[in-house]
Amino acid sequence: MSKGIMFQNCAYPIREATVSAYEDVWQQLAQSGPFWSGADRMAIVREARNSLQCKLCSQRKDALSPAAVQGEHDTVTELPLAAIEVIHRIRTDPARMTKSVLDAARTAGLSDGAYVELIGIVATSVVIDTFHQSLGLPVPATQAGSTAPPLGADPTVEVVDGGAWVKIAPGDGELNEIGIPRQANIVRSMGLVPAVIVLFFSVMRQAYYISGLPIAISRSQAEFIAARVSALNQCFY
């Protein structure tokens, strides 16, 4: 995949490190991962984008409970139905995601590793897409993706039962000065598939970690904007 697909014709200057990180991640998304081929991973991105126009998802979003509305998703890929259900729920109504969605996916044959990798891909694509949209740019075009088979689970990965729906990476046990674990659960949560932790945070840190970055507004101004956006998006983490 050639470079130069990110932030095309942008009217605003984008830091070279950000452009490079996004380009690299977009190329990695098109390569086969532990549980999904590159073609599948690109299909997951397309399906996540498509979910925003899905009639069933829209009806569920308006319902008192998403489980009260049954039907078929509007799809644009040949991904397994269990994967499509997870993708659409994660992208359109994550606040009301329940373990029953994962349990249904498991029953349909989706492994926990495939589930975690899928979530990492969707989350990564959302960061990339929403950044482009905030700048008034079209989202990057998806590629065909590698048809090489998935690489398989990493046998050296260590995970623990930490009370989550799936096993997570073990914590280091260290606490900060006010007694909170230094290693956040958001980092541990995708521990079954370390590759997607790297994938997600490669783009996330470009927008999230601002210490030491040459930005034109103060830290307090940046925090105020972030707080307002989080409130509007009902992101209370």
- Percentage, residues of the chain above pLDDT 90: 64
pLDDT at 181 over 70: no
- Rounded to whole angstroms, the Cα distance separating 127 from 131 reads 6
Q: Three-state SS for 175?
A: strand
**Tokens coding 136:** 């008034």
CB atoms within 10 A of CB 169: 20
- Using a 10 angstrom Cβ sphere, with 0-12 exposed, 13-18 middle and 19 or more buried, the burial of residue 236 is exposed
CB of 48 closer than 8 Å to CB of 226: no
- Rounded to whole angstroms, the Cα distance separating 236 from 94 reads 12
Q: How long a stretch of residues is the chain?
A: 237
- Using a 10 angstrom Cβ sphere, with 0-12 exposed, 13-18 middle and 19 or more buried, the burial of residue 42 is buried
pLDDT at 2 over 70: no
CA distances from 213 to 20, 207, 220, 231 (A): 16, 10, 14, 24
Residue entry with tokens 């046998």:
155
- Domain residue ranges in the chain: 16-210
Give 230's pLDDT tier (boundaries 50, 70, 90).
confident
Which one-letter amino acid corresponds to residue 17? A
- Rounded to whole angstroms, the Cα distance separating 78 from 76 reads 7
- Nearest Cα to Cα of residue 117 among 206, 54, 34: 34
- Rounded to whole angstroms, the Cα distance separating 219 from 216 reads 10
Which strand (E) or helix (H) includes residue 124? helix 112-134
pTM of the model: 0.88
Q: Three-state SS for 132?
A: helix
Q: What is the pLDDT of residue 114?
A: 97
pLDDT tens digit sequence for 115-170 = 999 999 999 999 999 999 999 999 999 999 999 999 998 888 898 998 899 999 88
Q: What is the pLDDT of residue 150?
A: 94
Residue 189: DSSP 8-state: T
More confident residue, 2 or 89: 89
